[in-house]
């Protein structure tokens, strides 16, 4: 029943994680760019789920946005008094240390690297790699000092492929989390990486990707969030939601890389991750 900070809280997997964490009585710190959506979500969480939520709008592709969230994560001190009755207020949540950091914000580039927009490449790198590193760096010393806490990073099954810079960023997240999990052994703090396959969210629409996949390959975000939080509770390091994508991950690990490149190359030229 601690406090969880979720980046990319306004839609898709992040939004589902927020509601499932609220159902498990966690207070929330909500991070994304869309202030209006965050404010409506915080009010709904308070009214419907009876948990407190702090709204923390930030663009994680900017140094200023990442610093703002990092500053919030550095809070280790007084937990502050609770209201006599009812959920914590946003101000009360804002004074509490974060027990679970969820690095979820991300987006598909929707372009080839060669000839693509280099600013979009930079923003993707900052949101999906820079922010994951900086926010984990800010959150972990306090968690270790308190002797409990967890980091949950959302990577992708694409981390096992060769689908453009997106796959490279997600491979970084996966390897980074495995390294963290090893470093954190015995501290009471855990690190988990989730590698979802295709999941119905706003992701593909935002990146203007063609929907070339049959309906049966899609997972829903509720299932991804449920399996991700179960993995955190078990202290599991790598989690690939759904049996179908666990089989795909096993196949990708066993296949020769030339074959992975050939298949991934075909897929990424159709979809432009």
Could you give the CA distance from residue 81 to residue 93 in angstroms, rounded to a whole number? 10
Options 7-15, 41-49, 184-192, 263-271: segment touching ligand NAP (CB under 6 A): 7-15
Q: Which parts of 19-48 interact with ligand NAP (CB under 6 A)?
A: 32-34, 37
End-to-end CA distance of the chain: 37
* 61 counts as binding ligand NAP under rule CB under 6 A: yes
Q: How many of the chain's residues bind ligand NAP (CB under 6 A)?
A: 29
The answer to whether the CB of 116 falls within 8 A of the CB of 142 is no
SS3 211: coil
* 232 counts as binding ligand NAP under rule CB under 6 A: no
Nearest to ligand NAP of 37, 146 (CB atom): 37
Phi and psi for 150 in degrees, rounded to 5?
-155, 150
* 13 counts as binding ligand NAP under rule CB under 6 A: yes
* 199 counts as binding ligand NAP under rule CB under 6 A: yes
Q: Which of 60, 109, 132, 150 binds ligand NAP (CB under 6 A)?
A: 60
Q: Which of 41, 53, 93, 105 binds ligand NAP (CB under 6 A)?
A: 105
* 120 counts as binding ligand NAP under rule CB under 6 A: no
CB of 9 to ligand NAP, least distance (A): 6
Alpha helices in the chain (DSSP H): 12-23, 35-44, 63-73, 90-94, 118-125, 131-146, 164-183, 203-206, 221-234, 243-254, 257-271
Q: How far is CA 179 from the centre of its chain?
A: 17
CB of 105 to ligand NAP, least distance (A): 4
Could you give the CA distance from residue 264 to residue 167 in angstroms, rounded to a whole number? 10
Could you give the CA distance from residue 100 to residue 111 in angstroms, rounded to a whole number? 33
* 54 counts as binding ligand NAP under rule CB under 6 A: no
- Taking Cα atoms as reference points, which of 169, 234, 164 lies closest to residue 195? 169
* 206 counts as binding ligand NAP under rule CB under 6 A: yes
| Token digits of residue 193 | 């990486």
* 223 counts as binding ligand NAP under rule CB under 6 A: no
* 110 counts as binding ligand NAP under rule CB under 6 A: no
Q: What residue ranges bind ligand NAP (CB under 6 A)?
A: 7-14, 32-34, 37, 59-61, 104-107, 127, 154, 156, 196, 198-199, 201-203, 206
């Amino acid at each position: 029943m601690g406090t969880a900070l979720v980046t990319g809280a306004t839609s898709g997997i992040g939004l589902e994680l927020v509601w499932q964490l609220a159902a498990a009585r966690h207070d929330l710190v909500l991070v994304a760019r869309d202030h209006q959506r965050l404010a409506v979500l915080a009010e709904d969480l308070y009214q419907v789920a009876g948990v407190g939520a702090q709204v923390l709008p930030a663009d994680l592709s900017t140094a200023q946005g990442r610093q703002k969230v990092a500053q919030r994560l550095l809070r280790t001190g007084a937990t502050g008094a609770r209201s006599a009755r009812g959920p914590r207020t946003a101000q009360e949540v804002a004074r509490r240390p974060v027990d679970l950091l969820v690095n979820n914000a991300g987006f598909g580039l929707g372009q080839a690297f060669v000839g693509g927009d280099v600013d979009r490449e930079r923003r993707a790198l900052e949101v999906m790699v820079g922010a994951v590193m900086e926010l984990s760096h800010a959150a972990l010393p306090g968690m270790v000092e308190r002797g409990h806490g967890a980091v949950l990073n959302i990577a992708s099954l694409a981390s096992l492929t060769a689908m453009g810079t997106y796959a490279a960023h997600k491979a970084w997240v996966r390897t980074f989390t495995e390294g963290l999990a090893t470093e954190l052994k015995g501290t009471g703090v855990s690190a988990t990486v989730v590698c979802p396959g295709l999941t119905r969210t706003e992701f593909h629409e935002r990146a203007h990707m063609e929907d070339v996949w049959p309906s049966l390959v899609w997972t829903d975000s509720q299932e991804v969030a449920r399996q991700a939080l179960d993995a955190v509770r078990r202290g599991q390091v790598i989690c690939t939601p759904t049996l179908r994508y666990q089989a795909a991950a096993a196949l990708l690990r066993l296949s020769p890389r030339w074959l992975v490149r050939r298949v991934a190359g075909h897929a990424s030229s159709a979809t432009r991750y």
